[in-house]
Amino acid sequence: MAINRVGVVGAGQMGNGIAHVFALAGYEVLMTDISADALEAAKALISKNLDRQVSREVISQAQKDEAFSRIGSTLTLTDLGQTDLIIEAATERETVKQAIFEDLIPHLKPDTILTSNTSSISITRLAARTDRPEKFMGFHFMNPVPVMQLVELIRGIATDKETFDTCLAVVDSLGKTASSSEDFPAFIVNRILMPMINEAIYTLYEGVGSVKSIDTSLKLGANHPMGPLELADFIGLDTCLAIMNVLHDGLADTKYRPCPLLTKYVEAGWLGRKTQRGFYDYRGDEPVPTR
């Protein structure tokens, strides 16, 4: 199948990065969101990130201008109906994702491929609520999308080979590497990463170490580029909690029980960098541990 026009649902942290890489790879991109401000902010951030690539001589000014000109935006979800591939990158709540796909279905071309950037939710279950489960799959980018090289491709039980092969070719065209995952809770990356982050939060909760000592230990002792609590703030503590709940509910194993301290931070609205407070306070010149 030929993919030329790509629709991106959601202009947040993941959506704008996805639009960025597709436009740079030569695809026409149409991005939608429920907020006009979010769309404007996304376009501004994409322009800024492309400028950064120009300054680092990763791309030329002409490539930046051409890529940016390929990105359109709309507040009307159904405008995406004539695209060849749709990537849903809305909030990590299954009911929200289901509602988006249900609204899109009557307006789609017969051969449009539907995908979700979900980091943990069942692809088979999402696909079953659509009219094309064979043309539905998981298309999970890593954050930040322009920098990270991996894309997880997740087949639902009904996904056909043509859809998978088409999405694999798209990943190759982006200059990224695909890993194929079976459709089980949290797939590969988050199945391994999130329990580690959750255990780091338990280590803090139980008083084994402070925020600073835990992050320093993993950065210097395991050669991680970012400590687990710093990484949790970067991902978003609400997203971390949502993924841990999917693991706990889907696998029914107590080793995936979300740490009560993670729940408490989310209840407080301290979600990490995006709210200026999480395991660190970002409101000053330098991040300061909150515990």
Query: Three-class SS string for 37-94?
Result: HHHHHHHHHHHHHHHHHHHCCCCCHHHHHHHHHCEEEECCHHHHHHCCEEEECCCCCH
- Which residues participate in the annotated binding site? 10-15, 33, 92, 97, 119, 143, 274
Active-site residue 140, yes or no? yes
Catalytic member of 49, 117, 119, 198:
119
- Residue of 73, 79, 57, 62 whose CA lies nearest to 24: 62
Tokens of 181: 């995952």
> Are residues 120 and 190 in contact, defined by beta-carbon separation less than 8 angstroms?
yes
- Which residues participate in the annotated binding site for NAD(+)? 10-15, 33, 92, 97, 119, 143, 274
**Helical residues (DSSP H) of 153-286, grouped into ranges:** 161-173, 189-205, 211-221, 228-235, 237-251, 260-267
Catalytic member of 88, 117, 152, 181:
152
Active-site residue 267, yes or no? no
Active-site residue 20, yes or no? no
Active-site residue 107, yes or no? no
Distance CA 23, CA 31 (A): 11
**Parallel, antiparallel, or unpaired for β 280-281 and 288-289?**
antiparallel
Distance CA 72, CA 23 (A): 10
Catalytic member of 16, 116, 117, 140:
140
Report the catalytic residues: 119, 140, 152, 190
